Homo-oligomer: A and B are copies of this chain.
Amino acid sequence: MIRVLLADDENLIRSALAALLALEEDLEVVAQAASGAEALAMARAHTPDVAVLDLQMPDRDGISVAGELATVLPGCAVVIVTGHGRAGHLKRALEAGVRGFLPKTVSAPVLTDVVRTVHRGGRYVDPELAAEAISAGDSPLTPREADVLELAAGGAPVEEIAARAHLSPGTVRNHLSSAAGKLGAANRHVAVEVARRHGWI
């Protein structure tokens, strides 16, 4: 019997996934959590074999939870499930020791199979996402460019970004321009979109 921890902030989805996993005879959902912090607490309390984490949770993302889980409970394999599959997230997840990475578009049997696979010590990442991650490669943005672009994500004017980053407005414009050029974007706003789509910010 594989003991599973399930974490997702959307109660309906979490309950539904629990119902789905419970249909399998060799799987048992021993704990559920609605946030990253709760997931860690539940993991300590119930020592599950496999943790299935949603990527997006209100307090912290599933990847940082996975990273902490790797030190707290090394024997527990982690599977990340996400609505929007971004190549950058996959890369960060694998660096954090995640053993399975799936978009929510996969069919139900895939999830149960992946839970079994990672429990046996195997790995699984969605083939389409893997291809995208390989072709996309690393982020072309320098650290400052990524910082500034992130601050620009809310649509803030340049001067406000400059104040927050402790930079001259001219420097901010330059970083934004450089980032937009690297991302093939006509202006910083579409640059933000592109970077988000790739998981680079």
Contact = CB atoms under 8 A, between A and B. Distances in A.
A20 B15 contact: yes
B11 A155 contact: no
Interface string A30-41: 000000000000
Interface in A92-150: 102-108, 110-111
Contact of A11 (B9, B106, B190): B106
B189 A12 contact: no
Interface of A: 9-13, 15-17, 19-20, 23, 81, 83, 102-108, 110-111, 154-157, 185-187, 189-190, 192-193
B155 A105 contact: no
B15 A108 contact: yes
Contact of A16 (B16, B83, B102): B16
Centre residue among A12, A15, A81, A192 by max chain B CB count within 10 A: A12
Nearest to A11: B107
A177 B16 CA distance: 45
Contacts of A10: 83, 103-105
Contacts of A15: 20, 107-108
A102 to B, nearest CB: 7
Contacts of A192: 155
Given A11-B106, A104-B10, A155 B187 contact: yes
10 contacts: A10-B104, A11-B107, A16-B19, A19-B23, A19-B108, A20-B20, A155-B186, A155-B192, A156-B186, A157-B186
A154 B194 CA distance: 11
A82 to B, nearest CB: 10
Contacts of A81: 12
Contacts of A108: 11-12, 15-16, 19
B186 A105 contact: no
A150 to B, nearest CB: 15
